[in-house]
Structure 1
Amino acid sequence: MRPPKAICLVTFLFLMFFRQEAFAQRIDDANYHYPYKDPFVATSTVALMQGNEDIPGMIEDLQIKILNGRDHVHLLEGQGKLRYRFYQQEGPAPLIFIIPGMGSSAYAGSARYLAEFLARNRFHVLVLPSPFNWNFTLAASRSGIPGLVHEDAKDLYAVMQRTLNDIKEQGHAEIGKIGLLGLSEGARDAGHIGKLDMAQGKIGITTYLLVNPPVDMLEAVKRIDAMAGLGKRYGERQRSYLEAYAFGMLAEALHNDPNNPDYFAGWDTRARLTDRQFEYLIGSEFQKSVGDMVYTSNLVFDPGILKTPVSRSYRSARFDEARSYTLMGYIKTFLIPRLRQLSDKRMSLEKLNAQNSLKAIETTLEKNQNIFLMHNLDDFLISEEDIAFLKKVFGDRAKFYPHGGHLGNLWYPENKKDMLKIFKSLMPASPQLARQ
């Protein structure tokens, strides 16, 4: 017998209700004991993350040629190989690629910290630089000017293939299943790499984890520029003092063991900085990393925009000029004109934003059930609308934490446990996890 239509409707609504409830694995504030409720203080703890290189196996700093001619760029001669770091297990093991946040090298503290954590849990780990890092711009960016995400993803995908072959052939690494961990801007790149690998299958990535990806590029850029712009409140001498103080405070903290349970404790009182000062320092670091890339990019190809003379003995003024550009200034002055020259004469800010948004790969994120998300509800680079989009697209493959700012809880034990749960499917068995 067929059930009455009313019962079918009620059943359908019941299932839909519980499916919606299952969409977001939202961690309850009362059960999440992360210590820093201020998102800027939380974000600043990323600077405390470091490695101590005491893992079993081998750590190698490697270089590989990706593009012809990049070893002979004027003033950058001999530096045209891509620099990456490989954490190798003895014997066969799964491999996790790490793509760090904007401007970070393969040796960034957060990448080293997570790489060592994963290596202690029996993964090979291969860390690449961000496309916005000067070394990637020089060695692996075909256009010489990063920022169009699907082209950056193609460059990264090519680099992943080359480095994977390199560690197999030169390092004799025995590689099992493969995962990809992306952080911030690197998480957005990882989503686009997922689209490429689904179509081409040249690597065969089994599991992806996207941590704190920005959703709307334009809004994230505006927010970062506003944070860096807070420096206008201070005179040049005050900014120099503030940056020197932060550097000294951080250098003192980094003398300690990052694996000590108290290493990250009490940072808010130890730092003795205001919210606005934290904001400025965070935004300023983003801007400086882009400035270094601008300097390099303008040596790879010279659009004639930077006017300060540069030579082997006189470079600092050119660096200062490159670092004077905001993120939006870089996009409008360098990126969009270059894209119009290379590929799309009608490129605009709005068109670039549409192509760079996570919404551009919504179908991939929905269909690929092996792409997972970890995000923070107080991340200042996303909006309520962005959160709603992520919940809808990822469903129960997403986990949202009430605090942590932007990447500021990567070190927190609960987050690391959740990360391992996602990547444990790469293991051929279920080995006992290492200490947290």
Structure 2
Amino acid sequence: MLSFLRACLALGMPLVAFVAVAQPDTGPYPIDDGLAATVVGTPAKYKAELPQNLDFEVRSLKPLVERETPDTLRYARPLQYLRVTQDGPAPLAFVIAGTGASALSSKCIMLSSALYAAGYSVVCLPSPTSVIFMLGAAKYPVPGRMTTDVRDLYKLMQVVRDDLDSETNVTGYALTGWSLGATEAAFIARHDVDAGVFNFSRVLLLNPAVDVWASVQRMDQLLAENLEGGIDGIPAFVARGLGGLKQLYSSGDPLRFNEDFLYRAYQTKSPQRGDIAAIVGLAFRLSLANMAFGADVITHSDVIVPENVELGPYDSLDPYIHRSFEMSFDNYFERLLAPYWNRDGRHVSREQLIAEADLRQIGSYLAANQDIGVFTSEDDPILSTDEITFLRTTFGERARIRPHGGHMGNLASANTVAALQQFFSRPAP
């Protein structure tokens, strides 16, 4: 059951891969509940029409850092990124994946297709919170310190640039990312001002967290309030949800668990709102569990797996999965992240770790840079009203804040994709 949920949820929402349709409806996004929008995503008739059958290439890199790969994490080797390039001269856009996502996620495919259609070559990078990044690219493999995660991403971007084929003619650089990847993109843009490697012509933040640690606490709260029994309650939760949805099918119909199915469920009010909230919380928690387990095993932190236990490739992970899932973001911060940054001669305060992951730290830079924009929704569950106000005030006309869409629920819509392509295609100010 946990494997089923991990497959459905852990790599981000909506729950299924993107499929473009020929005749998108460009009307307003139809779901007026932020949590429901986060789970349902974009119904088929509202999706953008994008290029099909692009020549995507999955590239493998040598590790950027030398470390032993624990047997139980060998699935996360090698370090990979996704790219699609134009035949002629073109700018290159980097896409940074959201929490827990690899470079092969459906959102990477969708955003790469949208940017390719706008004339860009595109590279999608894994999130620093993914085990593949932790093993192959992270100098400090306990994700969550913004400054070091950003430096590691920036180094990976340079390696990827140097890995491009000689016939790929790059005329400039742009940057985007979603969710945590959007927040990281903002800090990367600021870092590039000093490092001077890319000089990004455009940077677009898609549903960023403003205060990362405040956002993840909101996800913890969704789960705590709506999933009775924690991990032990998952089987009953799934059974109840599927039982409530069976009315949508006539006898003999196949089960197609996609955006249209979820939208139909939403329209019939089949799922309870508490169950929808639990799904959102589960998606974030399962990403966290994977990240926490990887960080603990790599650094021998003795929090999830006892330090004296050497897990083999065929050992049962059940007790450790249970412990990983029970770890909230607060637990991760207090038991893994903060202790890691206060050992081996390092001394970083709790307050500093929190402050470094807040966009308000670079608010003046974001306000002054006319090449940086933001797309989000007023009902995004990771944001507070004050944080929405910060984004609106800081970005001004460069902020596209829609009334509905949840957390990336409207990302694949025709209206959002058209606005994204317009942002990346507009002439420099």
**Same fold, TM exceeding 0.5?**
yes
Q: State the match for 1:391 in structure 2.
A: 392
Find the residue that maps to 1:289 and give its secondary structure: helix
1:409 and 1:246 mapped to 2: Cα distance?
Answer: 23
Equivalent pair of 1:65/1:80 in contact (CA under 8 Å): no
135, 138, 159: which is aligned to 2:135? 138
* 1:286 is aligned to 2:281: no
Find the residue that maps to 1:356 and give its secondary structure: coil
Flag the 1:65–1:323 CA change in 2: closer, same or farther, 3 A.
Answer: farther
Shift of 1:234: 5.2
Equivalent pair of 1:89/1:123 in contact (CA under 8 Å): yes
Shift of 1:374: 0.9
329, 332, 335: which is aligned to 2:331? 329
Find the residue that maps to 2:343 and give its secondary structure: helix
Q: State the match for 1:60 in structure 2.
A: 57
Q: State the match for 2:342 in structure 1.
A: 340
Q: State the match for 1:205 in structure 2.
A: 200
The TM-score, its normalising length taken from structure 2, stands at 0.82
Aligned residues: 389
1:345 and 1:315 mapped to 2: Cα distance?
Answer: 36
Shift of 1:55: 3.0
1:51 and 1:263 mapped to 2: Cα distance?
Answer: 18
The TM-score, its normalising length taken from structure 1, stands at 0.80
Superposition map of 1:10-49 within 5 A: 33-46=28-41
Equivalent pair of 1:377/1:401 in contact (CA under 8 Å): yes
Equivalent pair of 1:55/1:119 in contact (CA under 8 Å): no
2:236 and 2:112 mapped to 1: Cα distance?
Answer: 33
Shift of 1:425: 3.5
Shift of 1:206: 1.1
Stretches of structure 2 that go unaligned for 5 or more consecutive residues are 1-25, 246-253
Shift of 1:247: 8.8
Q: State the match for 1:223 in structure 2.
A: 218
Stretch of structure 1 that moved more, 75-84 or 102-111: 75-84
1:243 and 1:52 mapped to 2: Cα distance?
Answer: 33
Flag the 1:65–1:415 CA change in 2: closer, same or farther, 3 A.
Answer: same
Q: State the match for 1:156 in structure 2.
A: 153
* 1:97 is aligned to 2:106: no
Q: State the match for 2:17 in structure 1.
A: none
Name the amino acid aligned to 2:270: R
Equivalent pair of 2:65/2:139 in contact (CA under 8 Å): no
Shift of 1:57: 4.5
1:142 and 1:247 mapped to 2: Cα distance?
Answer: 43
Equivalent pair of 2:33/2:406 in contact (CA under 8 Å): yes
Q: State the match for 2:267 in structure 1.
A: 269
RMSD: 3.1
Flag the 1:58–1:371 CA change in 2: closer, same or farther, 3 A.
Answer: same
Shift of 1:388: 1.9
1:62 and 1:48 mapped to 2: Cα distance?
Answer: 32
Shift of 1:52: 12
Shift of 1:71: 5.6
1:271 and 1:174 mapped to 2: Cα distance?
Answer: 51
Shift of 1:51: 12
Name the amino acid aligned to 2:200: I
Find the residue that maps to 1:164 and give its secondary structure: helix
How far does the alpha carbon of each residue in 1:154-182 deviate from its partner, in whole angstroms, 9 at most, with x for none?
A: 1111111111111234xx32222221111
